Amino acid sequence: MDNAKDWFGYDSLAFFGKVNASISHELKNVMAIISETAGLLGDLSEMARGGKPIDPEMLTSSTDSIVEEIQRGFSTIRQMNRFAHSVDTPVLSVDLMDILDLVRNLFEYLSFAGKTNLHTGEGTAAMAQTCPFILQAIIYQAVVQTFQHAGPGAQLDISVQSKNESTWQILLDGVSLKDGEVFPDDRITRMALSIGVSISYDRGSDRLAIDVPVSIGFVKGNGAAG
Amino acid sequence: METDKTVKILLVDDEVKFLKAVSDRLSIKGFDVTTAANGDDAIEAANKGGFDVAVVDVQMPGTDGSQVLKILKQNHQFIEIIMLTGHATVDSAVECTRLGAFKYLEKPYDFDKLVEALKEAYQARLQKKFESNLKRMEAIQKLSTHQSPLGLLRAMAKLDDNRK
């Protein structure tokens, strides 16, 4: 199992499509604001040409708005680029905080996104040899389910700690699932098993723990990195 | 503007800068625009009354565009609603049409098309009101031939209740 075809099945493709759809939605919003604001500047120019007085503040706020939206567009494209490249190498050594940061950025493009607080751990970087793309899909789905249920007013705290010498533990505090809803479902369970990740949810404390092996080579029966 | 009165627009979108730019442009074109940055504020503004047309973004946090569409159509008989979306799908367009949307536009759209759609929606609203008033008059005429004065008043009150 050493190439992308072996690692990424339909579940991965579905996740890739879902995230790209949300990014395109964000970019359309950016384009719509730029388009309308440029149109407003055009309308104001026409008015000035016709001898009507124009409030200079409207010109300033319109140009500022266009500049800000261009920056927002660039930032979105940067995240899109990070995400696109996360499938380049199926398994590699990554800092888990980088993965969490990308998931948080991608998640914010959804209309129901709430606030996620990413807590940086003390000490050494949480490096793991894993499949970053599949790990992203698992964490993303947990965040999506939480806010789909709890709404944009909810908050989620995300941190990483060392569980033991061979395992990092990603903790999501504030995970909220509907009554009867389960996490992980069959699809996420399949994805987690494929990279040796185990997931446990404590409904009482609203805490989701995702155990990530420091090296995917420790996964029993997984010949991927062995 | 080709209309004989100022058209009152309720503009609803969670993108505040979009709301401001479109609102300013529509105001320059002569529309009377009120903005709402979320679904709940839109419903509250509509309850205060007087809007001819609402322009509503489909995807918003909390009460989303299709919920706003449904509630406004239920509570305000003659309001016409144009839906805007940054993520058009056949399912979403069908659902909005089923709920009574006048038009469904995809962002970014041509501003002139929005203005055209607003004028068409306003004309449709006037037509609907006219037909409703005509039906009411016909119903009153029919009732007046068979009713006592008190019976006629009661029947008219019932007619008005059905129009709410």
Q: Which of A36, A43, A47 is nearest residue B18 as measured by Cβ atoms?
A: A36
pLDDT tens digit sequence for A153-201: 888 999 999 999 999 999 999 888 888 888 899 999 999 999 999 999 9
Strands, E assignment, B8-146: 8-12, 32-36, 53-57, 80-85, 103-106
Distance CA A201, CA A197 (A): 13
Least confident residue range of A43-52, A69-78, A140-149: A140-149
Whether the pLDDT of residue B26 is over 70: the answer is yes
In this prediction, residue B163 has a pLDDT band, given cuts at 50, 70 and 90, of low
Whether the pLDDT of residue A137 is over 60: the answer is yes
A40 touches chain B (CB under 8 A): yes
Given this model, what pLDDT does residue A176 score?
81
pLDDT tens digit sequence for B96-120: 999 999 999 988 889 999 999 999 9
Q: How is residue A121 annotated by DSSP? A: P
Least confident residue range of A117-126, A147-156, A215-224: A215-224
The token pair that represents A122 in the structure block: 């003390």
Q: Do A35 and B108 touch (CB under 8 A)?
A: yes
Can you tell me the mean pLDDT for A47-53?
93
Given this model, what pLDDT does residue A220 score?
47
- Tell me if residue B81 falls in helix, strand or coil: strand
Averaged pLDDT of chain A: 88
Amino acid letter, residue A9: G
pTM beyond 0.90, yes or no: no
In this prediction, residue A43 has a pLDDT band, given cuts at 50, 70 and 90, of very high
Domain spans, chain A: 4-85, 92-218
**Angle CA A12–A28–A114, to nearest 5:** 65
Tokens 């129901």, located at residue: A112
For chains A and B, CB pairs below 8 A equal: 66
Superfamily of segment(s) A92-218 = Histidine kinase-like ATPase, C-terminal domain (3.30.565.10)
Least confident residue range of B76-85, B91-100, B134-143: B134-143
For the domain spanning B8-129, the CATH number is 3.40.50.2300
Distance CA A212, CA A192 (A): 9
> Which residues contact residue A42 at a Cβ distance below 8 angstroms, ignoring those fewer than 6 apart?
none
Closest Cα of chain B to A40: distance in Å? 6
Q: Look up the ipTM and state it.
A: 0.77
- Tell me if residue A159 falls in helix, strand or coil: strand
Asked if A34 contacts A70 with a C-beta cutoff of 8 angstroms, the reply is: yes
Q: Which of A24, A30, A35, A36 to mutate to test the interface with B (most CBs of B within 10 A)?
A: A36
Q: Which of A31, A68, A113 is nearest residue B108 as measured by Cβ atoms?
A: A31
Closest Cα of chain A to B107: distance in Å? 6
Instruction: Give the strand pairing for A167-173 and A207-213.
Output: antiparallel
- Tell me if residue A117 falls in helix, strand or coil: strand
Chain A residues with CB inside 8 Å of B107's CB? 28-29, 31-32
Q: Do A28 and B14 touch (CB under 8 A)?
A: no
pLDDT tens digit sequence for B36-80: 999 999 999 999 978 999 999 998 888 999 999 999 999 998 999
In this prediction, residue A111 has a pLDDT band, given cuts at 50, 70 and 90, of confident
Asked if A152 contacts B61 with a C-beta cutoff of 8 angstroms, the reply is: yes
Tokens 């068409």, located at residue: B120
Tokens 């950025």, located at residue: A105
Chain B residues with CB inside 8 Å of A35's CB? 108, 111
